[in-house]
Structure 1
Amino acid sequence: MENRLITHSLVKSQGKYLVIRRTRIKRGQKNVYPAYWDIPGGQVEVGELPRSAAIRECREEVGLEIELEDIIHEDSNLDGQLVFTRLVYAAHLLPSSKADVTLDFEEHDQYKWVTTLADLSDEKVVPYLQKLLNKQGSNL
């Protein structure tokens, strides 16, 4: 059985949180959770620390420079012979960074800054993020 580590960052700026919508097709393949809202993140590479991966993924997916705070969520899923473990960090923009989002359109086609899960009503949200935002509730 193989383990894969995935890291994400819940980026806060001016009292709002960044969410990004997954494309239907990702680099020529059907995307997992197509057209669902998510947050920046991805797989930790060999020899890379989880915190470094979360910062790198945010830079690659939305063009933002962030600083990480604490881990606010962890979950694991079994997919055949793969165990996926996800870590989500609270994050904020670096003082020198602008909040100008630059999407990688191969992976995401829209972004929003939201204050609560209600801002995404009638939208599809990846399951872990829905749980996380519900848990955070008024702490968002």
Structure 2
Amino acid sequence: MLLSLGLGSLISNNPNIGSGYISITLNFKEDAYNQDILIEGKTQLWFKFDPLNRFIKDFYKVWDSEVFFLAIEDSLLINLYYSNKNYFKIPAAKTRMKKDVYFLFDVVTDVPDARSDHRRYDYIKYTFVDPERYKD
């Protein structure tokens, strides 16, 4: 249940996608901060530039792995995009504290001077509480 390029079942977010791997063609360009922007279809996807690297630091506090973040960044973006959610989940079996962990984002689509569809994911925080439990 992962949109991944060979990462197994690290992240589960969308039960409608099914199991197995999906072949995806990735295209990139760089923004003003030399940050990679993933182009999926006609939509540009990226994590908001964070000079303090809060998201990456929090991610490594939680995730029980030595894999470089850049190796999985695209998979995370694709997972967020296709799930149409503002969070992703790392299952308890893959975390240091052996609890499900949810990473929450603001999804920004009204990017100024945009000539195509954009989705920028601005990191908010991580939590142990399932965001679906508190939806209206």
- What is the TM-score with the length of structure 1 in the denominator? 0.27
- What is the TM-score with the length of structure 2 in the denominator? 0.27
Structure with a larger share of its residues in strand: 1
Indicate the structure whose relative CO is greater, using CA pairs within 8 Å and at least 6 residues apart: 1
